[in-house]
A = this chain, B = another copy of it.
Amino acid sequence: MSDQSTEIVEITGHLMDSGILSRVLNDIREYGGDHVVERFDLGHNSGDTSYARILVTADDEDALQRMLMRLQTRGVNMVHPGEVTISEADTDGVFPDGFYSTTNLETRVRLGGHWLTVANPEMDCGLIIEQHSGPARAYTLPMSDVKAGMQVVCSASGVKVTTPIPAGGVEQEVFGFMESDVSSEKPQTLLVRQVADGIREAKAAHKRVLWVGGPGVVHTGAAPAMVAMVEAGYVDVLFAGNALATHDIESSLYGTSLGVDLAMGRGVEHGHEHHIRAINTIRKAGSITAAVEQGVLTGGIMHAMVTQGKDFVLVGSVRDDGPLPDVYTDVIEGQRAMLAGLEDVGFCLMVATMLHSVATGNILPASVPLVCVDINPATVTKLADRGSSQARGIVTDVGLFLEQLAMELLPTYQRQR
């Protein structure tokens, strides 16, 4: 139709191998648009990158702009991006109509003829421009943090994203084989070693290693292995909820005194009185750190994090009892604390938690390698569906995996007997 809106976009990368181009074309269809591939240069040799230039059409300008934003999550940019369009937010916590919705890819905006790199790429945020004083600055901001008067990028024009190209680095060599799918039928001992390599590379590059964990770490008996890795410096930051910390603390406080302990192999039901009592004990002490200092808490994962001076961010959920005094009960404040904890993170290992894994995936830049370990394939699938395209999944038993990871990372680690 004569009144349709069009734009020419381009994408470079391993378009064929990764199946990315088929997703791009699907996106266009899903947004009710159409396409003509104007040019396609397929890398002749394996390893070469490919290039595609596509004319996309949408019913109107609004639809086109939204399709362009969607395509950017795949790494597709306009050939002629122009300059950013900016609107002022007129209400706290609300973006202007047509705001640019961010990706977790490295992003630049074109302003006054110059390209400006966007600080802390994060999904589903707005893009704020600050130019009142000093040099112009661009950064992502969650919807709830926007204030009236802020300058917000609207429409996709003037925005460019860059997909991380695995240059024979960690991505390609370490996790290349896991590219296509989530599977429980993989040689697991090999995967263990490759995660260890990823962690060692991050440490060698003076980056921090982020762990995101669920209570399954404690239930599967992996706490001693994790403690050993904390003490050896392989856990710099821990994101978790009330459950992991409570079960860990409960296990330290009542593990031996009661005879119900995990060392006897007895299963422990949820909702029983130990865990609520453990929480009360820490609340009485004031905080986890205070409980360690007062000699109340003398072992376990949280104790190790405190004594090693490592950071942890615990964010609550609606099903929590207590919670522990260290837990953020306001989830938006919790998200801010997690965001602050991402600094210098060079590797992320997610273990046995869907809720906190997805939450971390939302804020983690696509440039940080990310491995998700769970016995439930749905956790990994969910993560990738939410946009964490760099996520590599390992479907395995968390307890045995962490045990083996400790043996791999720590030559002197003796497994529990």
Chain A residues engaging chain B, CB cutoff 8 angstroms: 16-19, 21-22, 25-26, 28-32, 34-38, 40, 42-46, 52, 63, 66, 69-70, 73, 91, 93-95, 97, 99, 101, 123-124, 142-144, 177, 180-181, 183-194, 216, 219-221, 241, 258-260, 262-273, 276-277, 279-280, 283-284, 315-323, 325, 329-335, 338, 355-356, 358-359, 362, 375-376, 378, 382, 385-387, 395-397, 399-401, 403-404, 407, 415-417
Contact = CB atoms under 8 A, between A and B. Distances in A.
Contact of A400 (B36, B123, B272, B396): B396
A270 B386 contact: yes
Count chain B CB atoms within 10 A of each CB in A66, A273, A283 and give the residue with the most: A273
Contacts of A193: 417
Instruction: List the number of copies, as a whole number.
Output: 4
Contacts of A220: 184-188
Contact of A36 (B44, B184, B270, B279): B44
Contact of A258 (B32, B376, B417): B32
A330 B317 CA distance: 9
A111 to B, nearest CB: 22
A415 to B, nearest CB: 6
Contact of A30 (B21, B185, B266): B266
Nearest to A225: B189
Given A37-B42, A187-B220, A334 B321 contact: no
